[in-house]
Amino acid sequence: MEHSLTSDRSKTRIKRLKDFFEPKTVAIIGASSKPNSVGNVLVRNLLYGRFMGRIYLVNPNYKEILGKPCYPTVKEVPEKIDLAIVAVRAELVPQIIEQCGEAGIKNVLVLSSGFRETGPDGAKLEQYMLSIAEKWDIRIIGPNCLGIYNAENGLDALFLPDTRLKRAKLGGVAFISQSGALLAAIMDLAAAIDVGFSKAVSYGNRADVDEATLIEYLLYDEKTKIIAAYIEGLDPGKGKQFLESIRRVIYHKPVIIVKGGKSISGSRAAASHTGSLAGEYNLFRSALKQVGAIEATNFEDMFDFIKALTMQPILSGNRLLVLTNGGGLGVMMTDAAEMYGFNVPELSKETQSKLRSILRPFAAIKNPVDVTANGTAEMYREVLEIVFNSNEVDAAIIGILPQTPDLGIDIVDNLIVTKSLGKPMVVVTVGGELTIQISNMLETGGIPVYPSPERGIRALKVLRDYYEIKERFKCETSSLECETNG
């Protein structure tokens, strides 16, 4: 695929998206005092949340809402507005966009539904709205979307209350989604499992700002380290732009894609959901692979990959240490490792001799290394120090069965200290209350934990795949570095 740099005009328009996420002034058009209405939830989220920008309410039917003045139109607001959020009936949106243009507003988030997802008449209305936006050089996110969220500054332009949808803490993952409901579910789950987000964007019908534009914008966003996306389909003629955007970003930040609409019935559902053409899945998948995107089969995979990529260094080799205190678990981890293309090499006689000196006589020392049911936390640490320092492996998958009496909670500190050796590692553990406690403590300390050998190995494979992706795209980065820093 030919690689082309984004034009200066396109770069300017991409960087202009910053005002969507970092506005100093926000107008809520369609603000309401009616409890649980979209306009009311937005007002409460922005007025009572962490966002410190200035908020203006717009609705000709009110003089004030929650004690704050309400203006008849956005043109009466006594300050330049960086971001307008529109929550009115679809048929009113074009005239609202016109008013935004007259007021000098350049960024509009349209939450309203009733556009092309409803059929030909809605599509005409959407095109009419776009023609007005183009006249005033306005950028639009939406329509038919849940909104946007910036965890850094607390900009909460989602129309669901935080009593129903918990907001993710600040972190390095940006999640963009065609589906607003799935964005809400994923964000709620992220908050529950302590995964941090930088930005969350529901872009719905992507009438103007689409996934390609958002991905390129996130290249420049310093808080975003990983980009994750749920995509149902692309508009006709937009495939090349989408793939180019990933190709430009991929060396700098991993891009994880979850694809919806893979089946014939799923494609039909996508068309009625966001007006998307899901396309032929195998072609889409092949194209993603060409540009280095990481495909996650489902959201479970997506979070597994995010944990590995955020907590561990990428993996430059293929040799794996399998370390366990349970023989059966060791066998399963070894099977999974070879199934996904890893090598579990027999350790050298010298290394085996060192291991024999610290482990019990009946422990397995060739690789897998089984410290046995009598193994202690110190033994885990010493095995990792000996094998990692031997440079005979590139990473480790560590099985922990905490039900054994000699393994204490100090396994956490003994594993975390080995992170300083600089080699990737994941933990697989199975069990109940104590297992959950140890898992949470390990992940707080930066070691990802998985409930099965297959999920742990797939996470390691993503670390290896992303290393190979970076090597593959290294030759294209010199000019992009200049752009990124420019």
- The model's pLDDT over 262-320, given as tens digits with 9 standing for 90+, comes to 776 666 666 555 555 556 788 888 999 999 999 999 999 999 999 999 999 999 999 99
CA distance 432 to 265: 39
Q: How many whole angstroms from its chain centre is CA 193?
A: 14
Mean pLDDT, the chain, integer: 92
Confidence of residue 10 (pLDDT cuts 50, 70, 90): low
Spatial strand order of the sheet with 255-259 comes to 155-158, 147-150, 197-202, 170-177, 226-231, 255-259, 294-295
b/e string for 152-175 if b means 16 or more Cβ within 10 A? bebbbbbbbeeeebebbeebbbbb
Mean pLDDT throughout 468-482?
73
* 365 has a pLDDT exceeding 60: yes
Confidence of residue 232 (pLDDT cuts 50, 70, 90): confident
Q: So what's the pLDDT on residue 266?
A: 63
C-alpha dist (Å) from residue 358 to 370, 376, 404: 12, 11, 19
Q: So what's the pLDDT on residue 443?
A: 96
CA distance 457 to 333: 8
Q: So what's the pLDDT on residue 284?
A: 87
φ, ψ of residue 78 in degrees (nearest 5): -85, 30
At 155, is the secondary structure helix, strand, or coil? strand
* 4 has a pLDDT exceeding 60: no
Confidence of residue 16 (pLDDT cuts 50, 70, 90): confident
Q: What is the pLDDT of residues 117-144, one digit of tens each?
A: 999 999 999 999 999 999 999 999 999 9
* 231 has a pLDDT exceeding 80: yes
Residue at token pair 């140890």: 438
CA distance 22 to 155: 8
Q: How does strand 25-29 pair with strand 54-58? A: parallel
- Cβ 60 vs Cβ 73: under 8 Å: yes
Q: So what's the pLDDT on residue 394?
A: 98
Confidence of residue 148 (pLDDT cuts 50, 70, 90): very high
Structure tokens at 389: 């320092």
* 386 has a pLDDT exceeding 50: yes
* 237 has a pLDDT exceeding 90: no
Mean pLDDT throughout 66-93?
97
Q: So what's the pLDDT on residue 474?
A: 84
* 3 has a pLDDT exceeding 80: no
Q: What is the pLDDT of residues 446-463, one digit of tens each?
A: 999 999 999 999 999 999
Q: What is the pLDDT of residues 27-50, one digit of tens each?
A: 999 999 999 999 999 999 999 999
Q: What is the pLDDT of residues 263-276, one digit of tens each?
A: 766 666 665 555 55
CA distance 101 to 201: 23
CA distance 257 to 227: 9
Confidence of residue 485 (pLDDT cuts 50, 70, 90): very low
Q: So what's the pLDDT on residue 23?
A: 97
Structure tokens at 453: 């050998």
Sequence-ordered list of residues with C-beta below 8 angstroms from that of 427, at least 6 positions apart, any chain: 397, 398, 399, 400, 415, 439, 442, 447, 448, 449, 450, 456
